[in-house]
Amino acid sequence: MFHSIRYVAATAALLAVVLPTLHAQNAAPEAPSRVELAGAYHYLDVNGSISGYPYKNMPAGALVDLDYYLNPHLGLQVEGDITGGGANDCLSSVEAGPIWRFRRRSRLTTSLHGDAGAARLGGPLFQQCTWGLGLTTGGSVDYRLPLPKINNRISWRIVQADYEYVHVDFGALKNLGLIGGTADVNAFRIGTGIVLRLR
């Protein structure tokens, strides 16, 4: 938990310094992209337990999302992520839902999204990775990099912050609660990455 708080504090401090500078760098308006593909590294702060045994935080994960915009502001998103590894600390999901994009004349773009789908969770003891329900909501801040030779098609995802809920039923509790049980996990996900403006 301490590492998560430190990471969030460092991110907030970075944004406090960087964002005013980025807003000052106004760019000529251009047509918003219709299709975007993003990839990010993220840290997952996990809260949940089975039979009193808590899940652990997962410091290394990957996230990919594909967005298709129906108009300059509203679109559809498909998102997948994977965190951890092994039977006792895996968490991955495949979800889809709406995304709202807010653009200014500067190079910054902010967005909000809400997704629902399937999530795969294992642990915290000997519960094998099992599929269940996944729900995610959150937002991101992107900075369009000044790369005119490739039509400014790459953005830096300065930060993406999400709340993720996972519900998985591992079956009846067995062996003094070491196997089985029901998990309700609340997780805070924060990351950074790259966005490709495909079209």
Tens of pLDDT, residues 50-100 = 888 888 888 889 999 999 999 989 999 999 999 876 556 789 999 999 999
pLDDT value of position 26? 47
This prediction has a pTM of 0.81
Dihedral, CA atoms, 118, 124, 127, 132, nearest 10 degrees? -10
Helix residue ranges, H only, the chain: 2-24
pLDDT value of position 74? 95
Q: How confident is the model at residue 27 (pLDDT cuts 50, 70, 90)?
A: very low
User: Can you tell me the distance from the alpha carbon of 146 to that of 160, in angstroms, rounded to the nearest whole number?
Assistant: 21
| Contact predicate 56/45, CB 8 Å | no
Cβ-Cβ contacts under 8 Å for 197 (sequence gap 6 or more): 33, 35, 36, 144, 152, 153, 154, 155
Average pLDDT, the chain: 84
Tally of CB atoms within 10 A around 56: 12
User: Can you tell me the distance from the alpha carbon of 123 to that of 178, in angstroms, rounded to the nearest whole number?
Assistant: 9
Tokens of 113: 């999204």
Angle CA 186–191–196, to nearest 5: 125
Residue 25 clears pLDDT 50, i.e. is over it:
no
When pLDDT is averaged across residues 188-194 and rounded to a whole number, the result is 95
Most confident segment among 12-16, 47-51, 86-90, 101-105: 47-51
| pLDDT above 90 coverage of the chain, percent | 52
User: Can you tell me the distance from the alpha carbon of 155 to that of 78, in angstroms, rounded to the nearest whole number?
Assistant: 19
| pLDDT above 70 coverage of the chain, percent | 82
How many Å is the Cα radius of gyration of the chain? Answer: 19
Q: Which is higher by pLDDT, 102 or 11?
A: 102
Candidate from 65-74, 114-123, 167-176 with smallest mean pLDDT: 167-176
Candidate from 16-25, 58-67, 96-105, 158-167 with smallest mean pLDDT: 16-25
Domain at 2-25+33-197: CATH code:
2.40.160.20
User: Can you tell me the distance from the alpha carbon of 76 to that of 136, in angstroms, rounded to the nearest whole number?
Assistant: 14
Domain positions in the chain: 2-25+33-197
